[in-house]
Amino acid sequence: MKLLILVLTLWVPTIYCQSDWWQTGQFYQIYPRSFKDSNGDGIGDLNGIREKLPHLKDIGITAAWLSPIYKSPMKDFGYDIADFKAIQPEYGTMADFEALLKRANELGIKLIMDLVPNHTSDLHEWFQKSVNRVKGYEDFYVWHDGYPDPKNSSNRLPPSNWLSTFRGSAWKWNTKRQQFYLHQYLAEQPDLNYRNPLVIEAMEDVLTFWLDKGVAGFRVDSVPTVFEVQADSKGKYPDEPKSGFTDDPENSAYLKHIYTQDQPETTELVYRTRAFLDEYQRKHGGDTRIILTEIYSPIDVIMQYYGNGTINGAHIPFNFNFITKVNKDSKAPDYAAIISLWMDNMPKQYTANWVIGNHDNRRVGSRYGPERIDAMNMLVMVLPGASVTYNGEEIGMLDVDISWNDTVDPAACNSNPQIYQQFTRDPARTPFQWDDSKNAGFSTANKTWLPIHPNYKQVNVKAEQAAARSHLKVYKDLVQLRKTSKTLQRGELKYKALNDNVLAVQRSLSGSNTILLLMNVSDKSQAVNVQQWSPTTPSSMKVRIASVQSKRNANETLKVSSIILDPYESLVLE
């Protein structure tokens, strides 16, 4: 009998813990430059992140991904890497990184690095060697002679009409090598040539370096642009057709990127990287090392990055659809459509994920409106799979209005004072708001690298910890519920726009409590009858979590056949 009890106690948790660590994880993006400055230079750093790890622990983060911390001239704030194996001095040292990783792991938080495979900085040793045609490096980048200019014999024309994401031609003439090189981003970010196997090997060596340090995986930057179409037998690259989206020929949206993005070889490379990580785990043991991919592409293309049925690719191909397809004016059916878009296209064996913010997009409260901050956090935590939070969204930070003079983002600086607001990513990158002291507790410097939001006296971690209701408290309660509710980890999903303004999302699991999210996205009260939609939903449910607008208290019982939601009120019921 004793033996039977022992077997059962060991067996039950195994059934319960069916999913791997990342599948229901809370991922958190740290933008290192803006998280916490430990040495008073106005710029965040690694020791600052280490000091603030207890905050991540407190809000229940599973894994944090760090935007690039490698050595860089910072033309694109770290996405221009001069050495993949060194730390940017203003962020700290390798010893600081190791101390950060050790502390994070002690607290049960995994660290994920940002891998930028598409390009390096023009100051990277590989590029310098390639410019000088050093043996072995001649073809590390995409070089081309270009064509004679019939109008000016001392000038050469670029190989194709391809455009850089940051405006203007994607080709730049290099006087030393007397050839053009490709840069799908800044001219200071030359594209690596993935048709050269040596490049793939060099990048796998980078992976090994960080895996050996103990990181849990990689967020892979700009995946779609890694390969371009192969030049034809005469060495010619085809021009891309016009998209019709804009009349501005410098804007990268002017062209349809059929030759410079999402080439079949790119998907194959993601599968190869997955196999590389799986093999590393097989050899070295430990938890699964994962890949999160940054891809803003049509849904059928993104699904291929998951895998092809036999071979697996990215564990988490970021789902940016709430960012790109929902905004302040969206109605409940629009939200439902975004859920369907992912769930109906994702092969059943894969894991969903939901991203609502990052350093390249406007903040949640500025994009959907500050009234919908809790609703959005509730939505991504109640849906199945991994949730991804950009630092500051847990306290409802808002975009900062940044003048042209204070603008530092190259995407905006490459434009002009009239149109820079369309392109700038600075507003969502401002320093984290910790408390109501100088610089929101981010830094003791007289000037921080980007300005602090003027609302920091109200919107900060300390104030929100003390308040009776706050975005932070809603966020923490959501994570707690996700961690403890079997229904949220494994339950069936059902959702519907009950009318134009109310979205209902239900998770249910036999033998476990049903969880229901009701989200009023409008500024009007809404009466809803959940049972009309779902007769099997329990007739009365308790409030588990209520948005800051709500007047309801936790544990209040509601009859789901007649609930009146206040303007923007969102409730998680159990």
353: part of which helix (H) or strand (E)?
strand 353-355
Place of tokens 């994570």: 479
Structure-token match 């059929």, residue found: 258
Going by the DSSP 8-state scheme, the letter that residue 90 receives in this structure is G
Closest to ligand NOJ by CB, 137 vs 185, is: 185
* Residue with Cβ nearer ligand NOJ (81 or 479): 81
How far apart are the C-alpha atoms of 303 and 33, rounded to whole Å? Answer: 32
Rounded to a whole number of angstroms, the minimum distance from the CB of residue 224 to ligand NOJ is 10
Measured distance CA(429)–CA(250) in Å, rounded: 25
Q: How far is the CB of 357 from ligand NOJ (least distance, A)?
A: 12
Q: How far apart are CA 479 and CA 379, in angstroms?
A: 12
In this complex, which beta carbon is closest to ligand NOJ, that of residue 222 or of residue 508? 222
- List residues with catalytic annotation: 221, 294
Residue number, 76 or 96, with CB nearest to ligand NOJ: 76
From the list 512, 513, 518, the residue with the least C-alpha distance to 495 is 518
What stretch of H or E contains 171? strand 171-174
CA–CA dist 385, 25 (Å, integer): 7
- Spatial distance between the Cα atoms of 561 and 533, rounded to a whole number of angstroms: 10
Kindly state the smallest distance separating residue 77's Cβ from ligand NOJ, in Å: 7
b/e per residue 305-315 (b: at least 16 CB within 10 A): bbbeeeebbbb
Instruction: Write down the least CB distance from residue 200 to ligand NOJ, Å.
Output: 19
> 458 forms bridges with which residues in the sheet?
none
The residue (of 27 and 475) whose beta carbon lies closer to ligand NOJ is 27
Q: Provide, rounded to whole angstroms, the least separation between the CB of residue 66 and ligand NOJ.
A: 12
CA atoms of 503 and 46, how far apart (whole Å)? 40
Position of minimal CB gap to ligand NOJ: 79
Q: How far is the CB of 222 from ligand NOJ (least distance, A)?
A: 4
Whichever of 47 and 424 has its CB closer to ligand NOJ, that residue is 424
Rounded to whole angstroms, the Cα distance separating 263 from 286 reads 33
At position 426, the amino acid (one-letter code) is D
Binding site for ligand NOJ (CB under 6 A): 76, 79, 116, 185, 221-222, 294, 359-360
With H, G, I as helix, E, B as strand and everything else as coil, classify residue 20: coil
Strand, helix or coil for residue 226: coil
